[in-house]
Amino acid sequence: GAGVSQSPSNKVTEKGKDVELRCDPISGHTALYWYRQSLGQGLEFLIYFQGNSAPDKSGLPSDRFSAERTGGSVSTLTIQRTQQEDSAVYLCASSLVGGADTQYFGPGTRLTVL
Amino acid sequence: GENVEQHPSTLSVQEGDSAVIKCTYSDSASNYFPWYKQELGKGPQLIIDIRSNVGEKKDQRIAVTLNKTAKHFSLHITETQPEDSAVYFCAGPGGTSYGKLTFGQGTILTVHP
């Protein structure tokens, strides 16, 4: 079946612009996660949506970052007033029930801020 | 919060040799430990996971062992092949929020033909 998809695959923007990154989770998965991977680094947790519960935003690095998940499916990660240090690969994952359940990752969006 | 340390950062082996990657964690309440493989330009893919009610799990050439007393777990790949070359990440539960993962820094595995 279809896996997690993300768009765009690559995004180049200028410093100070806003960007939106999209994630389509696996159909029926109730949990959705955003991670950030800087060059040569591990994955840094950003935000976690589980069903209708309030999202866990504890990993968002600043108030320029926000995310929403509409209708329990598609999610959008928004970065306002982008900075060069925001350049990274942004990965989305989903899992069937959350908790200690397998997370399936999308291919990521590579963001470059000039 | 949870802290996961992974070693080594790079590992180079000859085809057919075994490879071992080790991780330690800090939260004694942790009970789920997945391993992911990431190939260039792709998202991480789960290759094996272990839960705290078992000490070892095997899947063909891949095995994971867990020592809860010492708070460490290891990935073992036997009979390595060039296609095993990738970045491998261990992970543990991410602390107070049940569900999020804390990842190790990754190990770049290179298998030489």
- Mean residue pLDDT of chain B comes to 91
Structure tokens at B16: 């057919």
With H, G, I as helix, E, B as strand and everything else as coil, classify residue B84. Answer: helix
Structure tokens at B26: 């800090």
- Mean residue pLDDT of chain A comes to 93
> Which chain A residues are closer than 8 Å to B34 by Cβ?
102-103
> Which among B43, B49, B103 has the least Cβ separation from residue A102?
B49
Kindly report the CA angle at A38 between A110 and B100, in degrees rounded to 5? 95
Radius of gyration of chain A, Cα coordinates, nearest whole angstrom: 13
Name the residue in chain A with its Cα closest to that of B40.
A107
Q: What is the pLDDT of residues A13-59, one digit of tens each?
A: 999 999 999 999 999 999 999 999 998 778 999 999 998 888 999 99
Q: What is the dihedral of CA A28, A32, A75, A7, to 10 degrees?
A: -90
CB-based contact B106 A42, cutoff 8 Å: yes
Higher pLDDT, B40 or B52: B40
Q: Residues B54-58: what's their mean pLDDT? A: 89
> Which among B49, B98, B100 has the least Cβ separation from residue A45?
B100
Pick the closest to residue A11 from A92, A107, A87, A80 (CA basis): A87
